[in-house]
A and B are shown apart, each in its own frame.
Chain A
Amino acid sequence: MLIETCVLNSKIFDVLKIVGYDYFLSEDGLIGQKRVTIVAKNSKSIANFLKSNPKALVFVKPLSIDALKYAIINNRVAAVVLSSDNLHIFKKTMLNLIRQYDKPVEVQLRDFNSFVLRKIIVWSYKWIAYPLFSSCASNFDEIWPPLSKINLLVIHGADEEEAIKWIYFSPQKLISKDEHF
């Protein structure tokens, strides 16, 4: 079962089916599981958000070490978002914490950066058990088909077996972990 972990517009559900996905997480929550992405500068803002949104799957893009630490430790946070803006806060101690708590880390392919992709591939061999690669498509022409995702990882240096595992099984772990599935 293939899962697309980020869709901004639920109306593209039909195209997702054609492309090969069976299930998806959407930001608008009209169809599929609702997910919310927040950009957090500190741990307090994450805590306040979690209090006001008890049900949705929460993805956090931390901009400080304090926020990243809180997001990793907190069970309510489904995954941490990695991008070029917050790459510098992913130090070795934080990566060890991610490994300890089996926290999924998401990279959004909407405006992907090869350097970030290369980093997450290297880290996934040692620290990140569940890397997620999401399209975050708002229109059908922004969807990343699963085969394209796998080959994108392979040309960035991932093993083919590992790339297939990350694309197929990491999203399943994310959903089963949160017991919404």
Chain B
Amino acid sequence: MDLGINDIKEITSAMSEYPDMDYSNYSMSFLKRRLSYAFALLNLRRVNQLPERLKDPNFRDKLISNLSVDATEMFRDPAVWRLIRDKVLSDMPKESEKIWFPAEANGAEVFSLSIILHESGLTDNYKLICQSPSIIRCNSINDGAISAGNNEINQTNYKRLENQNAYNSYFETADGQINLLPYYRRNIECLNECFLSKPLAENSAALIMFRNISLYYNHKLTKTAFRLLTKALVKGGYLVIGIKERLPEDLIDEFEVIDANENIYRKTATINSRNHA
């Protein structure tokens, strides 16, 4: 379906009648193609059919799930994971045990970190809290399910980390479905919530993973989201964003740059201080 701007406005307006379905501040190019993609999967042929279909909670969940973009593969950008393993984990603030994945799509990010925590002997020091507005996505993450199609690239990325274990030792395969073994996800919990309406409490997260998520937001929503994340971080906590994303300018002073290429930031000990190291 080729959606015009007016169609998109009509669609986002109908969706925003429901909780956690306000997509009006997503970028236009994203909505144009992703709504077409989701509508095709859901067999929706005309925009005016949408309000009726939206009354069905199962339809709404499938729509949210289809609009959610996978962070592609596990250990995407291996250099980021290497830095987390070698630099960030040894310097985490002690006052929080929470690692937050505000908009986890397919588990690729949280499972990657879980494996790294295991290999660092730190699994039981942390709780990995994910949020997703889609029940389908949440259940899949809580089951440790990974996309079989990504298995090869996951494995290649893992090898680039120069880890000692065998990638396959972390997973079980049954009926073509690959799942992270329960032992390695005992500290993972996915909550069926949208972080924008239910963010983590202020000063409560030691590390936030928010890679390649603001890509789909417009400038306004990007600012709103990053402000929530900054508030939720404890002082000295870390924020990791996608290598092609930028922090909004009004928040730059709240962070020190740990690695400019891999976009790893640390919330400065004194907010708004320009004299940090």
Bound together: no
Identify the A interface with B (CB < 8 A).
none
Task: List chain B positions with a Cβ less than 8 A from chain A.
Answer: none
